């Protein structure tokens, strides 16, 4: 029973294996086929790389050909494959290929191409100016990456030419046309040719145009750059040997000096081609000193110094003249040769000791005499200066005193004018006030007079009225007074209540009744008087005032 169970369990495993094994074989076959396909039918060129093609079939190349002239020939092809993937274009049956990095030139380098295939150059030529010529190719490759077939070309790396500040670059054309006529040579600005040493630009030889400070990418097989130092330089005349000359009287006079010079930038090419030596390379400083500076300095010192006595070189005046003439002569001699003399100084002159000491003592005595004379003149000048100073101080004091007097007088006059002006102003104000007071008094007097006149006129009018009223009573004032009293009383009393005939108030009326008019019954007699003449007074009377 158990045996049957094991047999049943083993069958599924066999079935799984029978399926997986064929699938694995198929997968291996597919992967192998893909690899074989990729290797035989796909060319993969990664970035910064190129692929060199080598053809296996086609026309055979000749013995003199380094590469296949055309794509129909066998061998190394001229064309390169750039970055990318090429499928079914090239097969391993007819092609072979090699993937290499592109040629890279750094930023501080330049490349010179040398073609390895083509025709040989003709006699006298060393640059492959045509595409079908082998040799050095004109021009340069600047920094960057280039697809170069190493079977076709080789690249040499060189450094660019750097001309520093203060230098000039003299260009020598190594591959130009060879000058043959005078038209090919540069002309001197002063006229004439430069001794056929400098050619015009483009011809073989030293070029007339120089280069300014900069970095240049030149093919070293085409042009050579020589740097000429145009900065100022100093040279000591007696640094290597005694610099001297015989004087007029036969004494040997030694001297030392410093000459500061420089190459004129506009004549750098002329100076370089004239004084440069192969053993010095690009440096021409020593050649300038040995061929220009020293010969001219010695020539002047011997010619000019032989005209002077030995003792004259101890005196300051002679030495000064010798110094000035020396600098002028060096400038005149060196500047036409392209050397600028900035300064030429005679720092020391050594006459013979046999004449130097007595002459020196005499010169010292002369200098002391001059010193004493100068001191005397200085003292006289100081005395005169002190006198002038005191006179100036006196003048300044006098001017100051005069200024003080003028200032005091001016201030007094100004104060007087101010006081006078103020007094006049006060007087004018007082006069105005007086005139105003007078006008006010006159106005008051006029107003008082007018008021008095008004009162007088009123009194006269009242008096005239009273006079006429008295005249109405026959000129009796008493009657008029009674009339006035009765008139006043009559308007105030309405009735009188009298108890007895001997009442005090009746006494008053009786007094008025005893008065007789001057002309009874006259029209001018008042009616009250008529009433008072009756014997029987009224019995009762009443007033608005009550018990009056």
* pLDDT band, residue 144 (cuts 50/70/90): very high
Backbone angles phi, psi at 326, to 5 degrees: -65, -45
What is the pLDDT at residue 187?
Answer: 76
Q: How much is the average pLDDT of 418-429?
A: 90
Residues linked to residue 141 through DSSP beta bridges, in sequence order: 111
**CA–CA gap between residue 28 and residue 86 (Å, rounded):** 25
**Does residue 280 have a pLDDT over 90?**
no
**Does residue 359 have a pLDDT over 70?**
no
**CA–CA gap between residue 102 and residue 111 (Å, rounded):** 13
**Sign of the four-CA dihedral 518, 523, 528, 532:** positive
Residue with tokens 């190394």: 76
What is the pLDDT at residue 113?
Answer: 95
Q: What is the pLDDT of residues 108-130, one digit of tens each?
A: 999 999 999 888 888 878 899 89
Most confident range (mean pLDDT) of 98-102, 364-368, 469-473 is 98-102
Residue with tokens 């001057």: 518
| Helix, strand, coil share (%) of the chain residues, nearest 5 | 45, 20, 30
Query: Do 85 and 99 touch, CB atoms closer than 8 A?
Result: no
What is the pLDDT at residue 159?
Answer: 94
Q: How much is the average pLDDT of 422-435?
A: 89
What is the pLDDT at residue 242?
Answer: 65
**CA–CA gap between residue 149 and residue 51 (Å, rounded):** 9
Q: What is the pLDDT of residues 313-356, one digit of tens each?
A: 666 667 778 888 889 999 999 998 899 999 988 877 777 666 66
Strand 95-101 relative to strand 167-173: parallel, antiparallel, unpaired?
Answer: unpaired
Q: What is the pLDDT of residues 170-221, one digit of tens each?
A: 999 998 888 888 888 887 665 544 557 888 888 889 998 899 999 999 999 9
Q: Which residue has the higher pLDDT, 359 or 530?
A: 359
Which two three-digit tokens encode residue 353?
A: 């000791």
- Please name which of 51, 54, 91, 96 lies closest in space to residue 74, comparing C-alpha atoms: 54
Percent of the chain at pLDDT exceeding 70: 78
28: number of CA atoms within 13 Å, CB side? 6
* pLDDT band, residue 537 (cuts 50/70/90): very low
- Please name which of 213, 227, 194, 209 lies closest in space to residue 266, comparing C-alpha atoms: 209
DSSP state string for 50-116: EEEEEE-SSBPPPTT-SS-SSTTBSEEEEEEE-SEEEESSS-TTTEEEEEEEPEEE-TT-EEEEEE-
**Does residue 443 have a pLDDT over 80?**
yes
Backbone angles phi, psi at 105, to 5 degrees: -110, 125
* 75: alpha, beta or left? (left if phi > 0; alpha if psi -120 to 50): left
Which two three-digit tokens encode residue 136?
A: 């050095």
**CA–CA gap between residue 534 and residue 523 (Å, rounded):** 18
What is the pLDDT at residue 34?
Answer: 66
Q: What is the pLDDT of residues 482-518, one digit of tens each?
A: 777 777 776 666 665 555 556 666 666 665 555 454 4
Angle value at C-alpha 237, between 233 and 242, nearest 5 degrees:
160
What is the pLDDT at residue 224?
Answer: 92
Q: How much is the average pLDDT of 257-277?
A: 90
Q: What is the pLDDT of residues 75-109, one digit of tens each?
A: 889 889 998 888 878 877 888 889 999 999 999 99
* pLDDT band, residue 231 (cuts 50/70/90): very high
- Please name which of 243, 250, 293, 244 lies closest in space to residue 271, comparing C-alpha atoms: 293
**CA–CA gap between residue 156 and residue 142 (Å, rounded):** 12
**CA–CA gap between residue 118 and residue 153 (Å, rounded):** 11
């Amino acid at each position: 029973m158990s045996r049957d169970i094991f047999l049943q369990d083993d069958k599924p495993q066999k079935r799984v294996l029978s399926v997986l094994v064929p699938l694995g074989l198929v997968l291996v076959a597919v992967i192998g086929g893909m690899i074989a396909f990729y290797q035989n039918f796909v060319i993969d060129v990664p970035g910064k790389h190129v692929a060199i093609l080598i053809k296996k079939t086609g026309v055979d190349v000749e013995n003199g050909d380094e590469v296949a002239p055309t794509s129909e020939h066998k061998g190394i092809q001229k064309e390169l494959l750039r970055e990318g993937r090429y499928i079914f274009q090239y097969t391993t049956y007819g092609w072979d290929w090699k993937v290499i990095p592109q040629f890279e030139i750094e930023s501080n380098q330049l490349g010179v191409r040398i073609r390895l295939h083509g025709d040989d150059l003709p006699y006298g030529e060393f640059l492959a100016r045509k595409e079908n010529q082998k040799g050095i190719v004109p021009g340069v490759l600047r920094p960057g990456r280039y697809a170069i077939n190493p079977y076709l070309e080789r690249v040499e790396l060189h450094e660019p030419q750097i001309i520093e500040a203060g230098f000039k670059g003299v260009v020598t054309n190594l591959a130009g046309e060879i000058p043959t006529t005078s038209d090919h040579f540069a002309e001197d600005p002063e006229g004439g040719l430069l001794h056929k040493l400098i050619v015009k630009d483009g011809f073989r030889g030293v070029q007339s145009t120089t280069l300014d400070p900069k970095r240049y990418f030149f093919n070293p097989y085409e042009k050579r750059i020589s740097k000429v130092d145009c900065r100022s330089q100093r040279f000591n005349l007696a640094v290597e040997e005694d610099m001297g000359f015989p004087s007029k009287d036969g004494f040997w006079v030694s001297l030392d000096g410093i000459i500061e010079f420089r190459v004129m930038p506009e004549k750098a090419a002329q100076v370089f081609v004239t004084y440069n030596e192969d053993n010095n390379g690009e440096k021409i400083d020593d050649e300038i000193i040995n061929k220009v500076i020293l010969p001219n300095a010695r020539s002047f010192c011997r010619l000019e110094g032989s005209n002077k006595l030995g003792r004259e070189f101890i005196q300051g005046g002679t030495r000064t003249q010798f110094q000035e003439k020396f600098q002028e002569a060096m400038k005149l001699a060196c500047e036409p040769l392209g050397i600028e003399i900035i300064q030429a100084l005679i720092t020391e002159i050594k006459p013979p000791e046999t004449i130097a000491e007595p002459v020196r003592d005499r010169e010292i005595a002369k200098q002391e005499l001059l010193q004493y004379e100068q001191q005397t003149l200085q003292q006289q000048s100081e005395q005169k200066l002190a006198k002038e100073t005191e006179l100036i101080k006196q003048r300044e004091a006098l001017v100051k005193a005069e200024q003080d007097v003028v200032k005091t007088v001016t201030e007094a006059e100004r104060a007087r004018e101010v006081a006078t002006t103020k007094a006049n102003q006060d007087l004018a104000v007082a006069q105005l006030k007086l005139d105003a007071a007078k006008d006010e008094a006159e106005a008051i007097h006029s107003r008082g007079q007018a008021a008095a006149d008004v009162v007088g006129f009123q009194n006269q009018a009242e008096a005239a009225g009273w006079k006429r009223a008295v005249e109405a009573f026959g000129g009796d004032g008493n009657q008029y007074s009674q009339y006035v009293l009765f008139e006043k009383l009559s308007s105030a009393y309405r009735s009188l209540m009298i108890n007895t005939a001997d009442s005090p108030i009746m006494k008053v009326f009786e007094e008025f009744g005893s008065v007789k008019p001057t002309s009874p019954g006259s029209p001018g007699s008042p009616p009250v008087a008529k009433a008072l003449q009756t014997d029987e007074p009224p019995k009762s009377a009443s007033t608005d005032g009550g018990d009056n």
